[in-house]
Structures are given as structure tokens and as C-alpha cells.
Chain A
Amino acid sequence: MISDLSRFSPSAAPALDDDQLLHVSLGPQHPSTHGVFRMNVALDGETVVSLKPVFGYLHRNHEKIAENATYLSSMPYTDRLDYICPLSNNWAYAQAVEKLAGIEVPERAEYMRVILAELTRLINHTAFAGFILGDMGAWGSALMYAFRERELILDLFEDLTGARMMANFMRFGGCRNDLPAGWAGKVSALVDGYGPFLDEMEDLLIGNEILLSRTRDVGALTKEVLINGGITGPMLRAAGVNYDIRKVEPYGIYQRFDFRIPLGETGDCYDRIMIRFLEMRESIKILRQALDQLPDGPFVHPKAKIRNFKPPVGEAYARIEGPKGELGFHLISDGSANPYRYRVRPPSFINLTLLEDMCLGLDLADVVVILGSIDIVLGEVDR
């Protein structure tokens, strides 16, 4: 556990001569780095002495493109930020623009947004469960089970939005189209069937001694370091810090739902995995309540403009509790159809900043597990 930050002072010298260390470059082409991510690791035997992440391999000029495109045109690009959970990105951006322009969202649209966001949380955490076991070398069994369930939800998204992943569904003032007939029933059926799947995954994971020994007491940090580092999301809650934006600064209609925030104790990798499982169960609860309370009404504000949308001069920052952490969009408008400045606060990128601290003194095999437990997506890290 790292709580001493004096290493960062320039006068701190490395313990060993540089040529006694084995320098390994993990990535960018690597089966376990969740995308094109590179880590320059210096090893003393099997122990990590220093770890320097290198990224930018997936940089696509998202923020600059947004400065030259209209507000609506940026919406499909936000899908591609964190491509494992695209609808959350849509919502965060739509919220930022709505805050900027003062647009209200009708009630039905809010419920639809909550349903989609919680389904997105489910797909993200399911994929995470699969990925982390794949990283640990379980040869893809858990990965296949996770993706089999994820596909069911992606089929629902295809029914509603027209695309499995790149949904492009939220608009400024609501959603793009209404729910097709029978969609809510299908979601209800899926939500009922999700509990047994989670039970099966937990059977596979929880008591598994090998998983326990690989993830317990690995990669834990103190609460102060995490808060100072700006870490958000399940990583923070696994360490016991009660901070979930849905409760702290509720957006949408989250105040209406009865759900709890699971908190861990030590914040090691095992806690992070378990916290995500508990969050999935809470998401199922929210989904049931939202489906029950879903009202009729318009799915978008009647005066919402798609074309020639020029928000007033100003700036706005809106954030949501994305599955990976606090996803925020900061927009500065100068009154024209293109934003003056468009900035994404990517949770994966900020959660990665403490990677070295978590990995120092541990084995190379632990590095992969820790990286998996942070749950990054390079689309978001590099934008």
C-alpha cells in the first residue's frame, strides 16, 4: 500500500543501477492492455521498480473535431469515446448542452435515459467481469459467458436505437425516437433473467482460490491518495469512499429511485470486482423501478432544434456517474453553431494516473491484474 508521495521528488534516486534492471515494454500490441496502451516497465527480477505508461495511440482529435462541427454532429462521436458504454457518453454530452442552453427534458425522456444508462452500466460491468478473468489467463470462458449476456442487451439497443453500440440516441431535450412497441416488455424479461446469470458468474468467481490469491491485497491505495488523485467510480468506492454522483449531485430523476451504493473496505482488485457485481444488482433494482414507473408523454422537448442550434454564450459543465467513473463534458459557447471549446473529462484517463503507485513493488503478473481492475477503455483515455 502506497501512502508516501516523497518518491515523486526529483532527488529521489532509483534503488538499483539502470542496467541491472530488465526493461520490458508491455504493449501497445498486447492481449491484455485493453486497447493500444503501452507500459514501459522496469523490472528487478519479477518486481516492478518503475512503470511509465505511454498512450496516445488511439488519439483521434475528438475535441478539435467538435470545435469545427455542430453540436449535434458531436453526438455520434461521443459514442466512440468509451465504446463499451456508449449511451452514457451520449447522456453526459446531452446534459452539458441542455445545461448550456437551458433546455428542459420531458419526463418520459428522463425515464428512458435512466433505463438506457443502467442497461449500459450492466453491459460495462459484465464485460469487465469477462475481461478481468481473461487477463488472468482463464482462457476466455468467463469472457464468453459475459459477452453472451451482453449481446442480449445489445440486441435491445439495436431494436431501439438502430445500432448495437454506436447508438447516437440522446438529443438535446430528450431522445431520438420513442420506444418501439414491446420494448419495455423485453427489457423487463431480460432484467428478470439477469439475476441467475450474475449468480452463475459469482459461482465461477467468488470462492475461486486462484482468483482470490491473485486479487487480494493487490493494488490497494489509501483513501487520501485516491481522492487527491481525482479517482472516481468503482475504484473509489471500493476503497470505502462514499461518492457516487447519482447520490451526491443527482442528475436526471435519480432522486426518485431507491438504490444503495456499495462500498468496499480495502480497495484492492478483489474489492473492485465485487463492488461492480454489487452495482450490477443495484442497477437491476433501478431498472425494475424505472420500468414500473415509465410514464407516457413526449420523448423529446417539442421545441428542440436539430438544425441551426445556436446556444447562448456561456459555459457549462455536466457530469454523470458513468460506469467507469465521473464522465464530464465542459462546453464553452460563443453563440455560434460550433462550440468554442469542448472538453471531455475522461474517467479512464484520470484513473490511470495512479497506475504506477499501485504497481510498485508487485510482480509483473500483478500489473496486468491491476490494469484490468481499473477498467480502462483507450477510446476514452486518448479521445
Chain B
Amino acid sequence: MNLFGKWRGHSASRPGSGQNARATIGAPPRWSMPGLGLFKGLVVTARNMMQSYYRKDRMTTVQYPEERVTISPNFRNFPFLCYDGDDPVAGLRCTACSICEKECPPQCIYIVLDRDENGKSLKRPKLFDIDISVCMNCGICAEVCPFDSIYMDGQYEMSTTDRFGGLLLGLDRLAKSADYHLKLRPLEASEVAARRKAEEAKKLAAQAAKEAKAKTDKEAKAKAAAETQTAATGKGETA
């Protein structure tokens, strides 16, 4: 409903009808009652004011912290490390390969590899620190991780009164279970879980096949050895 529709004059010719289709938008006619434009503006604001009392889309304020906006599951704010099972140390998927540390644009990740007494890598991080004050929430670390280990969390209420230590999150605060990932992003987590399960199954199958092959090889070898043995003894007997 528009009382003032005739002013808008989108009286352009059909689209693609050739050169210079004209639209006399925005221009009041040669003589206009001064104040009518102002009056239109007043009507718009009055309408908005009245509608703000009963229309949801005209009063979009969400009174935080009593009400919260349901954020999209795809929202990314800060990384977290995923672990399988219950043990955040043993089940941690991260192998401290430091690819995320290298790719991070503002270089906010600090990883120290855990080594045993002989200096051999234990394929897990001893130290994994991310600095909130530096992280720019780009998600590149999650994109490049080859071990499905680091993902972007949706938690945004991370403010703290401790300006330095509180803003450096270590393994204890970063490690979150795979169930958490499933609750946060069901689609992505279930996809990852399915893929990992398939890979695991493939690995197991390959392992089983290898073992079976080794077993059959051993049996064949044993059989062949037994046959040569009997042939040799058979030859010895006839001779």
C-alpha cells in the first residue's frame, strides 16, 4: 500500500529494450506541495514506531544476557582440539605436526612437540597454546589440519579479567571431546566420524588382509618346506 506510489515513477521501459531506458526516480514533479516529502518521512517513522510494539521484525533487539541469539552451527570463533573417547590426553587426535602453526596468518599458535627420553617424537603435543588476543578467527588452521584434530568452536563468551595468562589457552582448555564436536556441528562431525570410521575399517581390513596373507604365506612356506623334506627323505630312502 503506497499512497505516494505515483511519485516513484519506475516508469522505465521494458528491460533490455534498447538504449537509455529512463527511470525518473527520486525526482519530485515540477511543482510539489512543500512539506509533503517531510510528511511522508513522518509517516514512515510513525509506522515503524507503532509496528515496533507488535511486529517481531521491527523490534529485533535481543536482550543479552537474559536472551541469547541462536547462532548458526557454522559460526566459527576460536579453535579447539578434538579428542576421541574420554581421555583428553590419550585420545587427542593432534600429532603436533605444526602445520596449523605454520599456516596461521597472525601466528597465534605455539606448539611444542612431546618427545621421550631418547628424543623420539611421541606424536603428541607437550604444549599447545593459542593466544585469543592474536587469533583472528579465520579458520585456516581448521582447514589445513590433516588429522581432523583442530576445529573452530562457536563459543564467544571467553572474556576474562586476567589480561595475559587468561588469554592464552593451553591444552587443558582447548581439548574438547568428539561428542562436543558432534553436538556443535552435527553434519560436519558425523561426516568426519564416518570418514574416520571408514578409514579405520579400511586400515583394519588391510591389516587383517596382510596378516591373513602373511599367515597363508607362512603356511605355504611350511607346506613347501615339508614337501621338500618328504621328497628329500623319499629320495634318501630309495637310494
Q: Which residue numbers of A lie inside 8 Å of B, CB to CB?
A: 69-70, 72-77, 141, 145, 148, 151, 155, 158-163, 166, 168, 176, 180, 199-200, 202-210, 212, 258, 260, 262, 270, 274, 277-278, 285, 306-307
Query: Given the known A-B contacts A166-B136, A204-B44, A207-B7, are A306 and B72 also in contact in the complex, defined by CB atoms under 8 Å?
Result: no
Q: What is the minimal beta-carbon distance from B123 to any residue of chain A, in angstroms?
A: 20
What does the 1/0 interface line of B31-75 toward A look like (CB < 8 Å)?
Answer: 010111110110111001000000001001000000000011011
Q: Does B113 contact A (CB under 8 A)?
A: no
Closest Cβ neighbor of A264 among chain B residues: B26
Please tell me which one of the listed residues B21, B28, B138, B139 contacts residue A207 in the complex, with CB atoms under 8 A apart: B28
Instruction: Flag if B105 contacts A69 (CB, 8 Å).
Output: yes
Q: Does B209 contact A (CB under 8 A)?
A: no
Query: Given the known A-B contacts A262-B23, A277-B26, A307-B103, are A73 and B140 also in contact in the complex, defined by CB atoms under 8 Å?
Result: yes
Please tell me which one of the listed residues B15, B23, B40 contacts residue A204 in the complex, with CB atoms under 8 A apart: B40
Additional pairs, 12, CB under 8 Å, beyond known A166-B137, A207-B36, A306-B143: A70-B103, A73-B104, A76-B140, A145-B48, A148-B57, A159-B74, A162-B75, A200-B44, A208-B40, A212-B37, A274-B26, A307-B144
Q: Does B2 contact A (CB under 8 A)?
A: yes
Q: What is the minimal beta-carbon distance from A214 to any residue of chain B, in angstroms?
A: 13
Query: Given the known A-B contacts A206-B37, A207-B7, are A260 and B21 also in contact in the complex, defined by CB atoms under 8 Å?
Result: yes
Instruction: Flag if B76 contacts A162 (CB, 8 Å).
Output: yes
Please tell me which one of the listed residues A70, A148, A278 contacts residue B25 in the complex, with CB atoms under 8 A apart: A278
Instruction: Flag if B60 contacts A209 (CB, 8 Å).
Output: no
A177–B152 Cα distance when bound, in Å, is 14
Contacts of B38 in A (CB 8 A): 208-210
Q: What is the minimal beta-carbon distance from A276 to any residue of chain B, in angstroms?
A: 11
Contacts of B136 in A (CB 8 A): 76, 166
Closest Cβ neighbor of A162 among chain B residues: B76
Contacts of A278 in B (CB 8 A): 23, 25
Instruction: Flag if A306 contacts B40 (CB, 8 Å).
Output: no
Contacts of A72 in B (CB 8 A): 103, 140
Instruction: Flag if B40 contacts A158 (CB, 8 Å).
Output: no
Instruction: Flag if B76 contacts A163 (CB, 8 Å).
Output: yes
Contacts of A162 in B (CB 8 A): 74-76, 139, 152
Contacts of A207 in B (CB 8 A): 4, 7, 28, 32, 36-37, 40
Contacts of B99 in A (CB 8 A): 307
Closest Cβ neighbor of A201 among chain B residues: B44
Q: Which of B28, B37, B38 has the most CB of A within 10 A?
A: B37
Instruction: Flag if A163 contacts B75 (CB, 8 Å).
Output: yes
Contacts of A199 in B (CB 8 A): 2, 8
Q: Which of B125-168 contact A (CB under 8 A)?
A: 136-140, 143-144, 152
Please tell me which one of the listed residues A69, A145, A176, A262 contacts residue B143 in the complex, with CB atoms under 8 A apart: A176
A74–B71 Cα distance when bound, in Å, is 27
Main secondary structure of the interface of A (DSSP, over half): helix
A76–B71 Cα distance when bound, in Å, is 22
A202–B140 Cα distance when bound, in Å, is 41
A204–B143 Cα distance when bound, in Å, is 45
Smallest CB-CB A-B distances: 6 pairs: A207-B37, A76-B138, A73-B105, A162-B76, A274-B26, A208-B37
Query: Given the known A-B contacts A274-B25, A278-B23, are A203 and B138 also in contact in the complex, defined by CB atoms under 8 Å?
Result: no
Contacts of A306 in B (CB 8 A): 143-144
Closest Cβ neighbor of A77 among chain B residues: B105
Contacts of A73 in B (CB 8 A): 103-105, 140
A270–B35 Cα distance when bound, in Å, is 18
Contacts of A262 in B (CB 8 A): 23
Contacts of A69 in B (CB 8 A): 105
A-B contact pairs, 20 of them (CB 8 A): A69-B105, A72-B103, A76-B140, A148-B57, A148-B60, A160-B74, A163-B137, A166-B137, A166-B138, A168-B140, A203-B41, A203-B43, A204-B45, A206-B7, A206-B37, A207-B4, A208-B40, A209-B38, A258-B16, A274-B25
Query: Given the known A-B contacts A200-B44, A277-B25, A307-B144, are A180 and B74 also in contact in the complex, defined by CB atoms under 8 Å?
Result: yes
Closest Cβ neighbor of A285 among chain B residues: B15
Contacts of B34 in A (CB 8 A): 209
Instruction: Flag if A168 contacts B138 (CB, 8 Å).
Output: yes
Contacts of B25 in A (CB 8 A): 202, 206, 274, 277-278
Instruction: Flag if A208 contacts B41 (CB, 8 Å).
Output: yes
Instruction: Flag if B105 contacts A158 (CB, 8 Å).
Output: no
A247–B44 Cα distance when bound, in Å, is 36
Closest Cβ neighbor of B48 among chain A residues: A145
Closest Cβ neighbor of B47 among chain A residues: A200
Closest Cβ neighbor of B34 among chain A residues: A209
A292–B32 Cα distance when bound, in Å, is 42
Q: What is the minimal beta-carbon distance from B221 to any residue of chain A, in angstroms?
A: 45
Query: Given the known A-B contacts A200-B44, A209-B38, A210-B38, are A155 and B144 also in contact in the complex, defined by CB atoms under 8 Å?
Result: no
Instruction: Flag if B32 contacts A76 (CB, 8 Å).
Output: no
Instruction: Flag if A202 contacts B8 (CB, 8 Å).
Output: yes
Contacts of B40 in A (CB 8 A): 203-204, 207-208
Contacts of B41 in A (CB 8 A): 203-205, 208
Closest Cβ neighbor of A145 among chain B residues: B48
Contacts of B16 in A (CB 8 A): 258
Query: Given the known A-B contacts A73-B105, A148-B60, are A158 and B71 also in contact in the complex, defined by CB atoms under 8 Å?
Result: yes
Contacts of A77 in B (CB 8 A): 105
Instruction: Flag if B45 contacts A168 (CB, 8 Å).
Output: no
A212–B32 Cα distance when bound, in Å, is 13
A203–B25 Cα distance when bound, in Å, is 11
